[in-house]
A and B are shown apart, each in its own frame.
Chain A
Amino acid sequence: MKKRGLGVGCMFYGIGFGFSRQDISAATIEICEDGSVIVRSGEVDYGQGSDTIFCQMVGEELGIPYDSIQLITADTFTTPNAGPTTASRVTYVTGNAMVKAARAVKETMQSVAEDILGEGDLVFMDGEIRSEYPDKRISFRDLAKTCHARGVQIVETAWQDITTKDVDPETGQGDAYATYGWASQLAEVEVDTETGRVEVLRIIAAHDVGKAINPSNVEGQIEGGVLQGMGYALTEEIVQEGGYLKTGSLGDYMMPTSMDTPRIDSHIVEVADPDGPYGAKGVGEPALIPTAPAILNAICDALDIRVTELPANPENIKRLILEKGKEEEAS
C-alpha cells in the first residue's frame, strides 16, 4: 500500500564562527589606468557562486559590468586573507569587505569627478559618472585615467571582522553569532508500506537570505541542499563496525540521483539584515538543514511512525512498520 504525508521542518543557523574564533575577511580593489578593475580576495569559491556575487557587488557600486571585473581569489601570495569558505559566512563577511573597498575607491573617484564636473549628485552607472546635467558626464575610463595622471590613490583594501566573543563557559549565555539564517521547508512524501521505500514527491522551501544578490544562485544552493538533505534522511550512510569501514565505495553508499529528484519549489524571503551587504546573508548551510526533518515529519504523518534513528532507509522503515503491526496485534 502507498501512503502519503506532509511534514514541516524549520531551522535557524548561526552564521560565522562564534566561540571567539577569528572571523575576518578582506578585499582589495585596484583600478587600472584604462579603468578596468582588479579585485583581489583570499576567499574561496568552490562552486557555490561567491565569485559571481562579488563581481555583482563591485559592479553595482562602481557602475560597471559585473563580468568585466578581473577577480583574483584564494592565493596566499597575491590576495589578502579572507578566512575560509565555511559557516555560511562568505556573503555576509567577504561581501561586506567587497562593498566597503568599492565604496572607498568610489569616494576618491567621486571627489575627482566633482572637481571635473562640478559638485552635485553624481551617479556611477553604465560605465559613466553622470551628473544631473546631461552634458556633464565622464566615462569611468577617463576618470580612472585622470586619477592616475594626478597621482590619486585608487587602490583600496577593506577589512571586515565579525568575530564574536565566546559564550560563557558555565552558562552558555552570550551573543553567540553575528547573525542567523532562517528557513522552513515542507516535504510531501509517499511511502510504500510493502518495501519501506520513501519517495519524496515535492519540497517547498522558504529561505530568508536577507537579500538575494543573485536569485538563481540562491535557488541553486537550495536545490543542491535539498538533495543532500534528502540523501541524508533516506539513503546515505557510512557504516563502521569495530573501527572498520563497511561502506567503502559509491557502490555501497547510496546517493540520490537525478531520478530521485523531487519537484522543488524555492521561495526566497528577504528580511533585510541590518549588517549584511545590501541586507544579505548566507544560505549555504540553511539550504540543507530543514529537508531531512521535514521528510521525517512527513513519514510520521503518512505512517504514524516516528523515526528516531536515521537514516529512514527501506530496511529501517520496513522494520518499524512490522514492529508497529506487532504492537497493534498485541494490544
Chain B
Amino acid sequence: MFPLRSERFQGKFNNPGIQRGDHSVEKEEFTCVGHSVLKVDALDKVLGRAVYSEDMTFPNMLHGKVLRAGVPHAIIENIDISAAKAMKGVACVLTAKDIPGENLFGIAFQDQWALAEEKVRYIGEPVALVAAKNEEIARDAAKAIKVTYKELPVVTNPHEGLGENAPKVHEKGNLILHSKTRKGDVEEGFRQAHVIVENTYKTHVQDHAYIETESGVGKVDEHGNLVVWSANQCPFRDRRQMAVVLGLRENQIRVIRATTGGAFGGKDDVTVEIHIGLMVLATERPVRLVLDREESFLSQTKRHAIEMWTRWGATREGKLCAMEGKVYGDTGAYAGLGPFVVKKCGIHLSGPYYIPHVKVDSYSVYTNNIMASAMRGFGVLQSSVAHNAQMDELARRLNINPLQFRLMNALDRGLSTATGQEFQAGIGIKATLEKLKEVVMKDPSLQKYWKELR
C-alpha cells in the first residue's frame, strides 16, 4: 500500500517476521504483534545514518565546556573569570551569578544548583560554563578560570553520614529518606524458624557506561524559542527543570530527543540540557556540549553502593517465616532519584517470595561521593544480590535444592508481597523457575550439579 520504511531504505526488504494473511475473513491471532520484525531504527544504526546530537552542527555554532569542582567538599571563596573571558574565541563565561531564573533543580527534591554558588559537594560539581568557537579554546578557557576553595572535611559512606558529628553535606542534614516496611510480627516469625541466616552484603558502584556519553546541541529557533536536541530519557521532565533555571515558560522550550546511544537511567535527569540553555541564551548562538568519557565518569550519576544487613528464617519444612533488614544507600552529594532507589531496594529485599513477617528499614544518605541515582535495576538489583544469597544459604542448611526451595516459597495468586500487595493474575515467578527446572532436567551437563533435583 505505502512504501515501507525498509523499502525506502534499500529497495525491497522481505521481512520474514510479518506473515501476510490469505484472503480468508478469519483473522489469525496476530499478524504483527508477537513477530520478530526488524527494528525500525536498525538500518539507520547499522549503516551509520542515525544522527546523534554530536553529529548536528549549525552555522556560527559554539562549543561548550563545563568547569567542575575537582574537590569533593569546599566553600567557594572566589571565582576569577577575567583571564578566561579575555581569551580570543571565547563567547561567554558563566557562573551562578549569570543564571536568569532560579538556580535550583533536582528530579525528586530540588536540592541541586545548575552552577555552584557558595559550596561544592562533590568533585564533578559544575562551577562555571565556557562557550567558545572551538572545543580547544573552550577547554583552555575553562582551565584559565581561577576558583579559590576552602576545603571542608568529607563524608564518604552512609554510616559516617548518619553519625552525629558527621560533616553536613547539606544544611538540613545527611539523611534524605528513611522508609519502613512492617508486615506481621517479625519476632513471632523468627520464633517459628528452624534455621536463621544473617549476613551483611555490600555492593559497589557501577557506571552506566553507555556507548554515547551525555551530549546535546541547542539554538534559538525562528520564533525565538529555545530548542535543544539531546540524549535524554524524558524531554518533558528536562523542559520542566530547564524552565525554572532559565526563567522561561515551558511552552518556550522545545526539547527533542536526538538519536540516543543508551541511557540505562543515567540520562533520566537533566545532564547537559540546562547548561546548553544557559549558554544559548547568553550568546544567542547555537551551542553544542558533549561530555568526554572521563568527564562523564567524574560528574554523572552512578549505581548506588548499598549495604544490606539482613536476617531470614525458615521452618523445618522449608517455608520462609520471617525476614528483617536494614538498607543503607550512598546517594552521594545530591538526591536525584536516590531516595526512591533506596526505598525500592528495601521494598524488594524480601524477594519474589511469600513471607508472612517482614521488617525492613532503608536509609538514603547524602555523602560527598559522586551522585548515585537511577540505573537499570533501580535498587532491585542490589536487593536481589542479598535475597538470592540468603535463599541459597537457607536451602543449604535445610538440605533442599536451591531452585526447589525458591519454588516452595515463590509468590502466587493471593499470596502477599512485603507491602501486603496481592495479585490474582500475571504472577510469573513460578513459571520462570519451572522453565529453568525443565532445562536442567533435560540437560545432563547441568543435572550433574543438582542430582537431587526432582
Contact = CB atoms under 8 A, between A and B. Distances in A.
A308 B200 contact: yes
Contacts of B224: none
B6 interface: yes
Contact of A6 (B1, B40, B450): B450
Contacts of B346: 172
Contact of A68 (B1, B202, B449): B1
Nearest to A249: B294
A37 B432 CA distance: 38
A272 B426 contact: yes
A73 B23 CA distance: 34
A214 B432 contact: no
A119 to B, nearest CB: 15
Given A184-B432, A249-B293, A131 B25 contact: yes
Interface stretch (A106-114, A148-156, A173-181, A320-328): A173-181
A76 B235 contact: yes
A161 interface: no
Contacts of B123: 243-245
A116 interface: no
A289 B303 CA distance: 13
B376 A186 contact: no
Contacts of A210: 426, 428
B302 A238 contact: yes
Given A10-B351, A77-B254, A237-B206, A63 B25 contact: no
A195 interface: no
A217 B17 CA distance: 12
Contacts of B209: 236, 250, 253, 255
Interface string A46-88: 1101011001110110011111100101111100011111110
Query: Which of B37, B203, B378 has most A Cβ within 10 Å?
Result: B37
Given A42-B236, A52-B41, A76-B256, A35 B1 contact: yes
A47 B261 contact: yes
B72 A14 contact: no
Contact of B257 (A75, A225, A245, A247): A75
B39 A49 contact: yes
B254 A75 contact: yes
Given A10-B433, A67-B37, A67-B40, A311 B235 contact: no
Interface string B7-34: 0000000010010110101010011111
Contacts of B36: 214-217
Interface residues of B, number: 128
A250 B293 contact: yes
Contacts of A66: 18, 32, 37, 40
A198 to B, nearest CB: 15
A11 interface: yes
B235 A42 contact: yes
Given A6-B446, A238-B297, A309-B202, A74 B257 contact: yes
B429 A184 contact: yes
B73 A126 contact: no
Nearest to B207: A238
A199 interface: no
A206 B256 contact: no
B1 A141 contact: yes
Contacts of B3: 68
Interface in B49-80: 71-73
A21 B234 CA distance: 15
Query: Which of B180, B268, B432 has most A Cβ within 10 Å?
Result: B432
Contact of B429 (A44, A182, A217): A182
A260 interface: no
A253 B36 CA distance: 35
Contacts of A47: 260-263
Contacts of B377: 285, 288-289
A21 to B, nearest CB: 8
A52 B260 CA distance: 15
B254 A9 contact: no
Interface string B224-262: 010000011111110100000000001001111100111
Contact of B40 (A55, A141, A255, A281): A55
B425 to A, nearest CB: 5
A174 B156 CA distance: 34
Given A243-B154, A285-B376, A211 B256 contact: no
A8 B446 CA distance: 12
A242 B420 CA distance: 41
B343 A10 contact: no
Given A14-B348, A84-B268, A237-B204, A182 B427 contact: yes
A292 B432 contact: no
Interface in A159-178: 167, 169-177
27 contacts: A4-B449, A8-B403, A10-B432, A44-B233, A46-B262, A52-B37, A56-B33, A66-B18, A76-B254, A82-B236, A126-B31, A174-B420, A175-B419, A176-B347, A177-B421, A179-B426, A186-B436, A207-B432, A208-B431, A210-B428, A215-B35, A245-B123, A248-B297, A269-B435, A288-B377, A300-B389, A310-B385
Given A84-B233, A86-B268, A130-B23, 18 more contacts: A47-B263, A56-B35, A64-B2, A65-B4, A67-B40, A76-B254, A84-B234, A87-B378, A141-B1, A172-B418, A176-B347, A217-B36, A229-B381, A243-B122, A296-B389, A297-B402, A306-B393, A308-B199
Interface of B: 1-6, 15, 18, 20-21, 23, 25, 27, 30-41, 71-73, 122-124, 154, 156, 179-183, 199-207, 209, 225, 231-237, 239, 250, 253-257, 260-265, 267-268, 293-294, 297-298, 302-303, 340, 343-344, 346-348, 351-352, 360, 368-370, 374, 376-378, 380-381, 384-385, 387-389, 392-393, 402-403, 406, 411, 417-421, 423-429, 431-433, 435-436, 439-440, 446, 449-450
The 4 closest A-B pairs by CB, nearest first: A243-B72, A208-B428, A84-B234, A172-B181
